[in-house]
Amino acid sequence: MVRPAAPMDATEEHVTDTMAWDTYARRKPGGRREKNAKGETTWFNWTQYPDHGPGVEVLGDRAAACVLELGCGTGGNLAHVATLGHRAVGVDVSPVQLNAARERWGDLPGLELHQRGALDFMSETAERFDAVYSVFGAIWFTDPGQMLPAIRRVMKPGGVLAFSQRPPVEGCYGCQASYINQADDPNPLVVKRWDYTPDMWTALLKEHGFRHPLVREMAPAEGWKTGTLLARALASGG
C-alpha cells in the first residue's frame, strides 16, 4: 500500500526523486545492447521496444546543432546524437544512471553530462538549444506547467522539442503516481508523472508558445499491447 504523500518542500522532493531514480537504475542495470538489429553501435530509439519506431530524424536536420536531453538515463540516445557531430548535453537527476552513462559513453567528443534536476539545469544554463528531447524522461515526470515554459526559455527560435512516453490510461489524466519497487522493502517508492491524450498535449504545447504541434500514439511492436505517445513541436519565433 502507498502511504498518502505528506506536503514536502522542494529540496525534500528533489532528494526523494533522486533516491527513487537511483533505485530504478540499480534494479534495471545493463543498459543498451552492443549493436542493434542493423549492426549499428549507436542508434536512437523513442519507444520502449528495441528496433522499433522512428529515429533521430524526428529532431530535424540542422548540422552541428546544440541538443539537450532531459532525463538521459544511461545515455544511449545521447551517444548517438554526439556521434552525428552535434553538441549533446544530457541532464539526469540520478548519479547511478549518469555513472553508467559516463562509463560507456564518457569519451565521445561533444557529449556532456550533468547531474541535475531538469528544471534546475534549465534555470541555470545560459546556453540556447536547437533541439530539446526526452525519451520516457524528465518531461514525463515533471508538471508541464513548469516544464514547458522552462524548455521554451532555453530553446532557439524555431528549434525542435520532441518527447515520448507511455500513452495515458483512459480517463486518468494529469498527475499520476508511478511506482518503483525496492528490493528489500515492500513499500514502493513513488514518483509523479503527467499523462495526457495527444489532443491535451497539443493544447498544452500551443498554450506554452510551441508551434505546429504533432502529437500521436504510435502502434506497439508486434505482439505487444501498449503503444508510445510521441510529441513534436517547434519553439515559436525563427
Ligand X SMILES: C[S@@+](CC[C@H](N)C(=O)[O-])C[C@H]1O[C@@H](n2cnc3c(N)ncnc32)[C@H](O)[C@@H]1O
In the complex, the smallest distance separating the C-beta of residue 110 from ligand X, rounded to whole angstroms, is 18
Per-residue x/- mask for ligand X, residues 20 to 39, rule CB under 6 A? -x------------------
What is the rounded CA–CA span in Å between residue 104 and residue 145? 34
Give the residue, chosen from 44, 141, 196, 201, that forms a contact with ligand X under the rule CB under 6 A: 141
92 near ligand X, judged by CB under 6 A: yes
Number of residues that bind ligand X (CB under 6 A): 18
What is the rounded CA–CA span in Å between residue 202 and residue 180? 29
Cell numbers found for residue 46 = 523513442
Picking from 57, 38, 52, 77, the residue whose alpha carbon sits closest to that of residue 228 is 52
Give the residue, chosen from 56, 58, 118, 162, that forms a contact with ligand X under the rule CB under 6 A: 118
Q: Kindly tell me which of 51 and 64 has the beta carbon lying closer to ligand X.
A: 51
Picking from 172, 91, 105, the residue whose alpha carbon sits closest to that of residue 135 is 91
Residue with the three cell numbers 499520476 = 176
71 near ligand X, judged by CB under 6 A: yes
First CA to last CA across the chain, in angstroms?
A: 50
By CB under 6 A, the residues from 149 to 178 that bind ligand X are: none
228 near ligand X, judged by CB under 6 A: no
Give the residue, chosen from 66, 79, 89, 91, that forms a contact with ligand X under the rule CB under 6 A: 91
What is the rounded CA–CA span in Å between residue 102 and residue 108? 10
Q: Kindly tell me which of 117 and 227 has the beta carbon lying closer to ligand X.
A: 117
Q: Nearest 5°: phi and psi at 132?
A: -130, 135
Which residue type does 57 have? E
Q: Kindly tell me which of 21 and 194 has the beta carbon lying closer to ligand X.
A: 21
Phi-psi region of 184 (alpha: psi -120 to 50; beta: other; left: phi over 0): alpha
Q: Kindly tell me which of 13 and 206 has the beta carbon lying closer to ligand X.
A: 13
Angle between helices 10-27 and 95-105 (to 10 degrees): 50
Q: Kindly tell me which of 142 and 202 has the beta carbon lying closer to ligand X.
A: 142
Give the residue, chosen from 67, 100, 138, 148, that forms a contact with ligand X under the rule CB under 6 A: 138
Handedness of CA 199, 205, 206, 207 (dihedral sign): positive
189 near ligand X, judged by CB under 6 A: no
In the complex, the smallest distance separating the C-beta of residue 207 from ligand X, rounded to whole angstroms, is 21
47 near ligand X, judged by CB under 6 A: no
Residues that bind ligand X (CB under 6 A): 17, 21, 71-73, 91-94, 97, 117-118, 135-138, 141-142
